[in-house]
């Protein structure tokens, strides 16, 4: 399928569009010729992530919350072709405020689904997380694995998934769920709300030891952000994705210790750094050995397997974003 032909001049909405993944998705849609509405409340998103699109007449910023329900939101959904819901309350925020977490990840999703149904939106692509599986017991973990989250974040994201599934089954809304795993790449936040790659990056650049929670043998399936853009674009266009949930993951296996030690080796030129260990995080999952067979088959995606090469690219690109 030609994605440029599919999305050309179509009105699309990216929620959380000023965030790390959302900004890359906005770029991907613009490259396909879509009219892109970037909705963000800027609690975590940054204008610096999307400033390169300001002069594009097809790019529009909507400074609102996914929980809002007013005339402006109704107008936004008129004539809308597709919603890409990437707005979320992040895992570390969920620990401190689980009610806010549920409000955004479940209630906000429900609000968007109701608006999508009311206004006849053609496609709803929903970003979820591998955390909905909890501590996996079957490897490699497929989409058929039981869903048993062990964190507030996983519970709230599963609630959002359930709403998406209900709107597909009861009302025929064309939906696709993408379960993200350990995404990394340019524009990722490097503060405490970012991913482990960018957090380690900031620590090392500032001459501080990276801190690993627990023993560090936790296995992760780090996934290049550009691959998630491809997954979203194809999920929004391919009929084979209708009503499906997919593991959007590279399938590679890297431990947190391997990540930290290799980043130190690559980056620390003057001051010798080492890994520090701290108490394990509540709800931290030990192992992700993820199957991406279904998404590769249905959406014809090949995920980047050169983790260390793309990581070096992220490091070179990072300094611009470390002042946030």
* Residues identified as active-site: 153
Cα–Cα distance list, 252 to 35, 208, 223 (Å): 34, 28, 8
Structure-derived torsion over alpha carbons of residues 251, 256, 258, 264, reported in degrees to the nearest 10: 130
Backbone angles phi, psi at 250, to 5 degrees: -70, -30
Phi then psi dihedrals of residue 112, to 5 deg? -65, -40
For tokens 């689904």, the residue is 113
What angle (nearest 5°) sits at the alpha carbon of residue 78, between those of residues 77 and 82?
55
Distance CA 42, CA 23 (A): 12
Helix (H, G, I), strand (E, B) or coil at 313: helix
Q: Read off the DSSP letter of residue 183.
A: E
Q: DSSP secondary-structure letter at 209?
A: P
CB 283 within 8 A of CB 151: yes
């Amino acid at each position: 399928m030609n994605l440029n032909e599919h999305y050309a001049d179509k009105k699309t909405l990216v929620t959380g569009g000023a965030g790390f993944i959302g900004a890359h998705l906005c770029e991907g849609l613009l490259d396909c010729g879509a009219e892109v509405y970037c909705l963000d409340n800027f609690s975590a998103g940054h204008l610096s992530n999307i400033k390169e699109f300001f002069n594009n007449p097809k790019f529009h910023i909507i400074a609102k919350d996914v929980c809002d329900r007013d005339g402006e939101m109704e107008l936004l959904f008129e004539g809308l072709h597709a919603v890409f819901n990437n707005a979320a309350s992040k895992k570390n925020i969920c620990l401190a405020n689980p009610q806010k977490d549920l409000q955004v990840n479940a209630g906000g999703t429900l609000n968007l689904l109701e608006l999508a149904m009311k206004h006849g939106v053609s496609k709803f692509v929903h970003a979820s997380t591998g955390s909905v599986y909890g501590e996996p017991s079957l490897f490699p973990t497929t989409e058929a694995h039981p869903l048993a989250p062990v964190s507030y974040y996983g519970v709230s994201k599963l609630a959002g998934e359930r709403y998406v599934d209900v709107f597909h089954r009861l009302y025929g809304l064309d939906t696709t769920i993408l379960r993200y795993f350990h995404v990394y790449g340019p524009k990722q936040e490097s503060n405490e709300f970012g991913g482990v790659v960018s957090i380690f990056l900031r620590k090392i650049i500032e001459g501080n030891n990276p801190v690993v929670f627990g023993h560090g043998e936790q296995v992760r399936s780090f996934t290049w952000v550009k691959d998630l853009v491809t997954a979203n674009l194809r999920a929004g266009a391919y009929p084979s994705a209708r009503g499906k949930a997919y593991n959007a993951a590279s399938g590679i296996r890297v431990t947190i210790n391997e990540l930290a030690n290799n980043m130190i080796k690559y980056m620390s030129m003057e001051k010798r750094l080492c890994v520090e260990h701290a108490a394990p995080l509540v709800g931290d999952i030990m192992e992700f050995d993820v199957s991406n067979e279904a998404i590769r088959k249905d959406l014809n995606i090949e995920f980047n397997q050169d983790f260390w090469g793309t990581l070096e690219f992220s490091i070179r690109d990072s300094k611009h974003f470390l002042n946030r």
